[in-house]
Amino acid sequence: MKLSRRECLQLALAMGTGMLCGCQTPLRRAFVPRPPLHALSSMRDLSTASRWLNRVTFGVTPTELDRLAELGQIAYLEQQLHPNDAGEEWTVRLRLRGFDVFHAPPTELADLPYPEVLRQLQQHAILRAVYSKWQLQERMVDFWRDHFNVYALKADCAYFLPQFEQEVLRKHALGRFPDLLKATAHSPAMLYYLDNHVNRRGVPNENYARELMELHTLGVHGGYTQKDVQEVARCFTGWTVEERFLRPRGRFRFDPAQHDPLPKRVLGQTVSAGDKRDGEQVLELLALHPSTARHLCRKLCLYFMARAPEETVEELSQVYLNTGGDIGAVLRELLLSEQLLQSPPVFKRPFDYMISALRALYALTDGNRPLQEHLKRMGQPLYQWPLPDGYPHGEEAWKGTMLARWNFAMALCANQIQGTWVDLQALAGTDTPTETLLQTVFCLPPDSPSLRSLRERLSGMLAQQAGLILASPQFQWR
């Protein structure tokens, strides 16, 4: 992602002006457009548009409302379903440059302490989620990050996660699930995390086989048995990571000497290629199985609308099966459905909450360690959930994090987080700051009962008002 000479000059002028003036405003303007607040009054059905955008993106903003109003719902969604780096804002492309962990093979990353690898991984994820134009892609990367969870602190998994994030999750986030599943199965990060690198003929390791069916595909009630787990484990014997001397270490390797070539029986079907194709046949079988379709569609329903009506799950499953596991086609059906708008609010997990707060206030952030420390206190440092099921969803799982959320909100609005800065006065305007700020953050019309209730309870300085808004019960839900 190269910058043009004009873009480099714009950046240099912005940085130079900021240094000469002794303030951050010029630099902020170079990176973050001022919010077009007129969008709040220009859309006829603001609450419906805001509710829909809050599900599709990491947080509705006036800028995003303007884009939706300009394109229309269908064209906006189609654009989101087909992201491309060339269409990203140059300021975002500039922010995403210079991450060493994405430009070196995993074996070379071993020279870095693993906390540094995790720091860069999280910084990259935060910056993309806050600033990227392709918000639906970022939401789906977040979804797959848990669906195919890898615990960074196990063995050397941390050093393979940058490759896993970029070449597996992000590359296939909106593509075909069979391709995504195949990519995860070949990923050294997954092979190490679920111990398939030691899955050998005669002593099969069942960890990957079990999680492949229970979590990645069929679901716990998907119709498989313990015998299926054992047979699938045999199919994946010899699927390992290259560790031999003078070989391209750290890559996927199939070792025929460690593969069990005898026939296997999986879900009533015979698998008898006797080589790497045994595992590939299992992946194809599982990826397009009706139980996999229902399991994935149920999880997508819960992720985007907090409930999973059986009728909706079945409709989406048929779309999945009819399109060969096309994730984009399923999302198109789900996100344009009436059920989405009629569904209950979705409780924000810590990462979701942090990103939506930064977006709502048009924060200028580097996404670095001070911000990541707040995410850790809230309980969701990325890639640090030890179990293969990923971070949990729902209000019950995160009730104990509310104090950390409030502390983050107050620190953010008081500009007490190093590397992160908000201009509340510029955001709110000078005439009626609280009124406009409430409308901006919640995207509510002036006569909204929720807005009146919040307005009555707010008093004090602008930073305190903004902090209370972000800490309010309403902002915990999307």
Query: How many CB atoms are closer than 10 A to CB 391?
Result: 21
Q: What is the pLDDT of residue 455?
A: 58
Query: How many CB atoms are closer than 10 A to CB 460?
Result: 10
Instruction: Give the span between the Cα atoms of 137 and 141, in whole angstroms.
Output: 6
- List, for the chain, all residue ranges whose pLDDT scores fall below the cut of 70: 1-44, 428-460
**CB burial of residue 180 (10 Å; 0-12, 13-18, 19+):** buried
Task: Report the relative pairing of strands 264-266 and 252-254 from DSSP bridges.
Answer: unpaired
Q: What is the pLDDT of residue 9?
A: 37
Q: Are the C-beta atoms of residues 73 and 336 closer than 8 Å to each other?
A: yes
Q: What is the pLDDT of residue 154?
A: 95
The answer, as to whether pTM is greater than 0.75, is yes
Tokens of 449: 């009962």
Q: What is the pLDDT of residue 222?
A: 97
Query: How many CB atoms are closer than 10 A to CB 345?
Result: 15
Q: What is the pLDDT of residue 11?
A: 37
Q: Which conformational region is residue 105 in: left (phi greater than 0), alpha (psi within -120 to 50 degrees), or beta?
A: beta
pLDDT digits (tens, 9 = 90+) for 114-152: 999 999 999 999 999 999 999 999 999 999 999 999 999
Q: Are the C-beta atoms of residues 174 and 136 closer than 8 Å to each other?
A: yes
Question: What are the helix (H) ranges across 389-432?
Answer: 395-398, 402-413, 424-428
The CA-atom distances, in angstroms, between 170 and each of 138, 140, 162, 167, 184 are 8, 8, 11, 6, 12
Instruction: Give the span between the Cα atoms of 33 and 30, in whole angstroms.
Output: 8
Whole-number mean pLDDT of the chain? 88
pLDDT digits (tens, 9 = 90+) for 379-396: 999 999 999 999 999 999
Tokens of 404: 């950390």
DSSP E strand stretches across 205-346: 239-241, 252-254, 264-266, 269-271
Tokens of 391: 């971070």
Q: Are the C-beta atoms of residues 408 and 357 closer than 8 Å to each other?
A: yes
Instruction: Give the span between the Cα atoms of 116 and 125, in whole angstroms.
Output: 14
